[in-house]
A and B are shown apart, each in its own frame.
Chain A
Amino acid sequence: MTVEITDVGVDLGGRPVLRGVTATAREGRWLAVIGPNGAGKSTLLKAVMGLLPCTGLITVGGRPVRDLAPRDRARVLAYAPQSPLLPPDMTVHEYALLGRTPYIPYWGRESARDTETARAVLDRLDLTALAARPLERLSGGERQRVVLARALTQQAPVLLLDEPTTALDLGHQQQVLELVDRLRRDDGLTVVSTLHDLTVAAQYADDLLLMSGGTAVAAGGPGEVLTEELVTRHFGARVTIGAGPAGRPVVHLRRPTG
């Protein structure tokens, strides 16, 4: 499903945090939202999820998000926050099963099918061996995969991931991102994620949205958005953009000489 963001604005505590943001995440593609700290990346994701009141229009598959009932919304959009709250004594299976919440009536309980869906997702993410383990006894990489498992159990066509690789080492970052990309291709999911590492964003995303000071300042393919001029202006960093594998740009920091 395609996500269309049109002229979206968000105020937090009377302060404008987003202004006039317009962007599109096309069906089956990966849109990475990049930008300096405080640019409004996470806020944009929350607004898309319907967690923050916003002006403008956000549609998923042509339907305005604000017109969807919470349960219907949760069936088309799955969201993983930057630092998810993991109840220490909940097991991996119980946590993954929470993803079935939008399919269970208020007074109801999980059906055998819900349990089976959660089990299948855990299997797919190589988490079956950890199913009975409490969340407090997981490593950083495992936690990130478990959060992803919960989002996938939701079986929503759009995945919103806020910094899915924070606090992960290089190997685990790669593992998680490859996994997301594989799932995207296999299931035709639309992925919208914030990513702070520009080279990583360029490697994985089909489209980039560069945000700065609460507005969208550039959008397009990695080669169009990651230019020395734009990065220097919005990140205040001195960089050299090189050519990486498959023609995707690589961002190098440049030390001042002399």
Chain B
Amino acid sequence: MRKGVAFAGAAVVLAACMTAGLMVGAAGLPLKGVVLALADRLPFVEAHSGLTPLETGVLFELRLPRVLLGAMVGGLLAVAGAGYQGVFRNPLADPYLLGAAAGAGLTVTLVIVAVGDGAAVPLAAFCGAAGGVLLAYGLGHTATRGGGTATLVLAGVAVTSFLTAIQTFLQQLKVEELQRVYAWILGDVGGGWEQVAMCAPYAAVAAAILLLHGRLLDVLSVGDDEASALGVRAGRVRLVVLVAASLATAAAVSAGGLIGFVGVVVPHAVRRLAGGSYRVVLPLSLLAGGAFLVTADLIARTVLAPAELPIGVVTAFVGAPFFVTILRATRKVET
């Protein structure tokens, strides 16, 4: 019952945020016009929106792909964060803090510098994301046997700095590409329909795999020995979820650039509101992450209008203080 209410609530919030995202901008669009114009595109529906051709163009060519990409990237980052948290049994795990995003960032920069944009970008991002996580995990694991929650994050920070340094080096080597890479790094969901189409298949596969593992992540949360004693092959579940979360991160990073804190803030808020079961946390994070990033994008493009703030700046502004409160909460549990 409570679960149903939570899902309905999250869906309503996401729809509201997306509608706001469609209406607000340099040229404000009326709610009625937006709703009617969207309805008109549905099969068998005939509606007159009353929007001018210019407004219709803004709605369908600029706002709609932007809002969809924002929702997709935000949902992916949040659900990937929740997946990493389940795999590592660590509420602070996040695509950005684990080095996954930086790994993807490095490999994508490599591809942009070497061959330009193209179909290789998501694949490169995936390899980078998976490599970044494995590096952070290996480092955290060898530094302290078993490792505490903070150790993994510290290792992730080290890996992130290292990979970012290599990336910066590459960028400086190829100054003519600098502007493009730089804009991409700070995060941007204004990539248009092309980016939506590129990101969508990866997003669908990754999200589906993650959502289907909610029950098994709940089993893993009691520890590896007990999960094994319950008949679950813990290592295999871990690997599958790790790959899916890295794929989600890769899709998000290749479409939206490096956007931090979504993966740690959103699942944490969801847990507070709807309980800790991954069967609830994963799908709700997907919805709430979308709503969060669409809202962040709305703020990013209005607060300094007509200039645009990089969306990563907005999420960091909200996320960093939030992160500190989560860190304090987990510290209390550990001691």
Chain A interface residues toward B at CB < 8 A: 46, 49-51, 69-75, 77-79, 81, 84-91, 94-95, 98-99, 101-102, 104, 106-107, 109, 134, 136, 154
Contact = CB atoms under 8 A, between A and B. Distances in A.
7 contacts: A46-B225, A70-B232, A74-B229, A84-B222, A88-B333, A98-B222, A98-B230
Contact of A94 (B212, B218, B229): B218
Contacts of A79: 225-226, 229
Given A79-B226, A104-B215, A107-B212, A85 B221 contact: yes
A87 B222 contact: yes
Given A70-B233, A87-B222, A89-B275, 4 more contacts: A79-B225, A98-B218, A136-B333, A154-B230
Interface string B223-245: 10110111111000000000000
A88 B230 CA distance: 19
Contacts of A78: 229
Contacts of A81: 223, 225-226
B277 interface: yes
B218 A102 contact: no
A99 B226 contact: no
A109 B215 contact: yes
Given A79-B226, A89-B276, A94-B277, A101 B232 contact: yes
A18 to B, nearest CB: 17
Given A51-B228, A70-B231, A79-B226, A91 B275 contact: yes
Contacts of B216: 106
B155 interface: no
B219 A98 contact: yes
Interface range, B side: 20 to 34
Most A CB within 10 A of own CB, among B212, B215, B225, B231: B231
A74 B221 CA distance: 17
A36 B231 CA distance: 31
Contact of B221 (A69, A87, A134): A87
Contacts of B141: none
A89 B218 CA distance: 11
B201 to A, nearest CB: 21
A71 B275 contact: no
B271 interface: yes
A148 to B, nearest CB: 13
A19 to B, nearest CB: 22
Contacts of A95: 222
Task: Choose among B212, B216, B230, B276 the residue with the greatest number of A CB atoms under 10 Å from its CB.
Answer: B230
Contacts of A136: 333
B276 A101 contact: no
Which 3 A-B residue pairings sit nearest by Cβ, starting from the closest? A74-B231, A89-B276, A102-B231
Contacts of A154: 230
B335 to A, nearest CB: 14
Interface string B55-85: 0000000000000000000000000000000
A142 B232 CA distance: 26
A178 B228 CA distance: 28
A69 B230 CA distance: 11
B90 to A, nearest CB: 12
Given A81-B223, A85-B221, A90 B277 contact: yes
Contact of B231 (A71, A88, A94): A71
Most buried by B among A51, A86, A101, A109: A101
Contacts of B333: 88, 136
Contact of A90 (B89, B221, B226): B221
A75 B231 contact: yes
B223 A101 contact: no
A58 to B, nearest CB: 14
Contacts of A91: 275
B300 to A, nearest CB: 33
A77 B228 CA distance: 11
Between B216, B218, B222, B275, the greatest number of chain A beta carbons within 10 A of the residue's beta carbon is seen for B222
B196 to A, nearest CB: 29
A90 B276 contact: yes
B277 A101 contact: no
B276 A74 contact: no
B228 A70 contact: yes
B212 A51 contact: no
A98 B215 CA distance: 9
